[in-house]
């Protein structure tokens, strides 16, 4: 931590006099992401949205681009889209140029709270902006073949603001108690971490329920008009799909310093991260540290095509930071070789193409010790470590307004993301940094989003995958926490090698917005998981109410 803190403080001392209007970022739980996707596809020209590969989005950039499209009538939107556009403006009132009366609530609470439609408490003056909002998610459910009821009980608060238009800040604190379905409980036991969070305690000595705290926060400022800095403890996501093969928000938050350069048709992002190696915590012990650095360059090749280059490295030297990786431009593979090749370096390519104002095609390719000649001549060799994602989005499908479809395929070879030691693997806090399944799998995801009325949303997902699990104590490359040195052979590995598991997971959620960002939810989920030696079936019905938070997803 001290290395990344020193880096941020050095930058802060050098650049503060150049700081200009600085924004915070959309929360990970924002409902506005999908609407922004719709606007991008409808407009087709990508250059307004070349920030959209890297998430979370910068509030200032999004509102500027959306306002431009809105004011110039560059996108034809229906009444439901207009409602969603207004919703986005309300959630980002500090960056809109509309009159303050536009955001005032007709029914404030005690003349102090909810004076604005989106924020519980808001201050919006010349040199200071502050928005404070409660967070609530109360969910109850019943699972077949489970005598105990399922529940999620989350309460918290989010605070964001700006000081003199130069320093932005945000923090989110949520206290959670949860009893998830049986396969979720098994996941917690196997990985010794709650998906998406990490550290937990058993709730009231009940091994089937978890008690955990989720706290995130960061500071932001501008070095110049085109360069943003962010320092904090949170998550990041790189990609256009439901999953990411580069960096996802599946796991726990982490300490990071981020530099984002947005100029012309380029968006270049550097992330320097402090991570936790895999562990088995017993009592109050200090956990070790490992480090990572990642670059992503996004380029608008044409008005409708965006391509990206990615590279990342996990420092495989526990509790030791290598300052050579602070170089924000040079290729990490070269540095890795120059220091003796001890670390886990990966590289990747991604693309996004908007077509006919209705469709978007996207994909990622990740290379991990990829050698083309070996792929051609020895395709089942263990060292052919790579991953591929292909997907497509279709908005207003078949002429039905606000019916949006998405299909995505993810394919990851055995031993991808793993390393020769158990420190430099592509993980953090006992969870994968990229895809939640790890490696040695193929997955297909189908998504339906339908908003028939302004306040009603239907969100359905069906996920199918097969994966080769370890068998008879042998490492077949799905568990990325294991060293690839423990492989049983040099050849004969294909996706599904080992104990082949198959899974169907279908989730349908209905959400009705009672008032701004307050939803009543109902859902049903059916999951079937089979291996050659066991079978697990779950049917879950749940109901809930939530405020300023997304519902809990059991999507693996």
Span 372-428, pLDDT tens digits: 777 777 889 998 999 999 999 999 999 999 999 999 999 999 999 999 988 899 999
Kindly tell me if the per-residue pLDDT of 514 is higher than 80.
yes
Output helix, strand, coil percentages for the chain, rounded to the nearest 5: 15, 45, 40
Spatial neighbors of 386 by CB under 8 A, at least 6 apart, are 365, 366, 367, 368, 370, 413, 416
* Placement of tokens 């991604």 in the chain: 350
For 137-141, 305-309, 321-325, 465-469, which range has the lowest pLDDT when averaged over its residues? 321-325
| Residues facing residue 215 across a β-bridge | 173
Q: Which has the higher per-residue pLDDT, 409 or 315? A: 409
In a domain, residue 430? The reply is yes
Q: Are strands 431-432 and 427-428 parallel, antiparallel or unpaired?
A: antiparallel
In a domain, residue 329? The reply is no
Kindly tell me if the per-residue pLDDT of 5 is higher than 70.
no
Are the C-beta atoms of residues 524 and 541 closer than 8 Å to each other?
yes
Kindly tell me if the per-residue pLDDT of 498 is higher than 80.
yes
Are the C-beta atoms of residues 482 and 531 closer than 8 Å to each other?
no
SS3 string of 47-110? Answer: HHHCCCCEECCEHHHHHHHHHHHHHCCCCCCCHHHHHHHHHHHHHCHHHCCCCHHHHECCCCEC
| pLDDT category of residue 322 using cuts at 50, 70 and 90 | low
**Between 33-43 and 59-71, two packed helices, what is the crossing angle to 10 degrees?**
40
The pLDDT of residue 31: 85
Encoded tokens for 441: 């799998």
In a domain, residue 275? The reply is no
For 5-19, 206-220, 230-244, 410-424, which range has the lowest pLDDT when averaged over its residues? 5-19
Q: Could you tell me the residue range of the domain that residue 504 belongs to?
A: 2-255+389-547
The pLDDT of residue 378: 85
Taking alpha carbons only, the member of 378, 381, 386, 380 closest to residue 410 is: 386
Spatial neighbors of 424 by CB under 8 A, at least 6 apart, are 290, 314, 315, 316, 342, 343, 344
The pLDDT of residue 337: 47
Q: Average pLDDT of 151-155?
A: 98
Taking alpha carbons only, the member of 521, 527, 516 closest to residue 552 is: 521
Share of the chain above pLDDT 70, in %: 90
Encoded tokens for 21: 């209007």
The pLDDT of residue 248: 97
Judged by phi (left if over 0) then psi (alpha if -120 to 50, else beta), residue 43 lies in: alpha
The pLDDT of residue 51: 76
In a domain, residue 31? The reply is yes
Q: How many residues does the chain have?
A: 556
- C-alpha distance across the termini of the chain, in Å: 31
Share of the chain above pLDDT 90, in %: 70
In a domain, residue 337? The reply is no
The pLDDT of residue 340: 46
Q: Which has the higher per-residue pLDDT, 533 or 305? A: 305
**C-alpha span between 249 and 434 (Å, rounded):** 8
The pLDDT of residue 55: 94
In a domain, residue 380? The reply is no
The pLDDT of residue 344: 86
Domain count, the chain: 1
In a domain, residue 308? The reply is no
DSSP letters, 135-171, are: EEEEEEEEETT-SSPEEEEEEEEEEEEEETTTEEEEE
Over the chain, what is the mean pLDDT? 89
Q: Which has the higher per-residue pLDDT, 499 or 102? A: 499
Q: Which has the higher per-residue pLDDT, 327 or 296? A: 296
Q: Average pLDDT of 257-282?
A: 89
The pLDDT of residue 214: 95
3-state DSSP call for residue 382? coil
Name, of 215-229, 275-289, 377-391, 439-453, the range with top average pLDDT: 439-453
In a domain, residue 512? The reply is yes
The pLDDT of residue 105: 77
| pLDDT category of residue 281 using cuts at 50, 70 and 90 | low
Encoded tokens for 60: 């200032």
Kindly tell me if the per-residue pLDDT of 8 is higher than 90.
no
Q: Average pLDDT of 252-270?
A: 93
Q: Average pLDDT of 106-126?
A: 85
Cis ω on the peptide bond leading into residue 430 (within 30° of 0)?
no
Q: Is the dihedral of CA 416, 245, 312, 286 positive or negative?
A: negative
């Amino acid at each position: 931590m001290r290395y990344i803190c020193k880096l941020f403080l050095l930058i802060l001392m050098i650049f503060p006099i150049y700081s200009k209007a600085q924004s915070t970022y959309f929360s990970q739980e924002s409902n506005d992401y999908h609407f922004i996707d719709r606007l991008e596809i409808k407009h087709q020209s990508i250059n307004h949205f070349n920030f959209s590969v890297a998430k979370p989005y910068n509030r200032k950039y999004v509102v500027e681009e959306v306002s431009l499209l809105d004011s110039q009538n560059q996108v034809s939107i229906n009444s439901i889209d207009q409602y969603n556009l207004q919703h986005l403006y309300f959630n980002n009132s500090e960056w809109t140029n509309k009159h303050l009366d536009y955001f005032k609530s007709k029914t404030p609470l005690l003349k102090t709270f909810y004076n604005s439609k989106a924020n519980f408490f808001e201050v919006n003056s010349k040199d200071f902006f502050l928005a404070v909002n409660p967070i609530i998610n109360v969910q109850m459910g019943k699972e077949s073949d489970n005598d105990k009821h399922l529940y999620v009980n989350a309460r918290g608060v989010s605070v964001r603001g700006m000081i003199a238009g130069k320093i932005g800040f945000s923090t989110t604190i949520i206290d959670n108690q949860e009893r998830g379905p049986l396969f979720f409980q098994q996941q917690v036991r196997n990985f010794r971490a709650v998906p998406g969070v990490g550290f937990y305690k058993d709730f009231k000595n009940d091994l089937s329920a978890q008690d955990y705290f989720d706290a995130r926060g960061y500071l932001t400022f501008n070095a110049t008009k085109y360069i943003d800095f962010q320092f904090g403890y949170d998550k990041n996501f790189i990609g256009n799909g439901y999953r990411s093969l580069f960096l996802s928000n599946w796991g726990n938050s982490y300490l990071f310093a981020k530099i984002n350069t947005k100029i012309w048709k380029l968006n270049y992002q550097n992330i320097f991260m402090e991570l936790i190696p895999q562990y088995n915590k017993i009592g109050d012990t200090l956990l070790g540290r490992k480090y990572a650095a990642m670059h992503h360059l996004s380029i608008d090749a044409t008005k409708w095509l965006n391509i990206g280059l990615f590279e990342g490295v996990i420092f495989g030297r526990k509790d030791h930071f290598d300052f050579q990786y602070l170089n924000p431009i040079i290729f990490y593979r070269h540095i890795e070789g120059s220091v003796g090749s001890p670390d886990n370096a990966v590289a990747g390519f991604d693309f996004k193409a908007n077509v006919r104002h209705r469709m978007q095609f996207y994909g990622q390719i990740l290379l991990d010790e990829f050698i083309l000649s070996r792929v051609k001549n020895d395709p089942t060799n263990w060292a052919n470590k790579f991953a591929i994602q292909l997907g497509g989005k279709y908005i207003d499908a078949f002429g039905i307004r606000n019916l949006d479809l998405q299909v995505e395929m993810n394919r990851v070879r055995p031993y991808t993301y793993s390393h020769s030691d158990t420190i430099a693997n592509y993980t953090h806090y006992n969870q994968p940094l990229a895809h939640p399944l790890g490696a040695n799998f193929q997955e297909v995801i189908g998504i339906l989003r339908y908003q028939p009325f302004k306040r009603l949303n239907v969100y359905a997902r069906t996920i199918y995958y097969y994966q080769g699990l370890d068998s008879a104590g042998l490492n077949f490359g799905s568990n990325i926490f294991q060293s690839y040195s423990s492989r049983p052979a040099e050849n004969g590995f294909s996706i599904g090698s080992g104990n082949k598991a198959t899974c169907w997971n279908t989730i349908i959620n209905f959400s009705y917005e009672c008032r701004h960002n307050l939803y009543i939810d109902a859902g049903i989920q059916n999951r079937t998981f089979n291996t050659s030696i066991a079978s697990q079936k779950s049917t879950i019905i749940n109901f809930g109410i939530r405020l300023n938070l997304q519902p809990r997803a059991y999507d693996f």
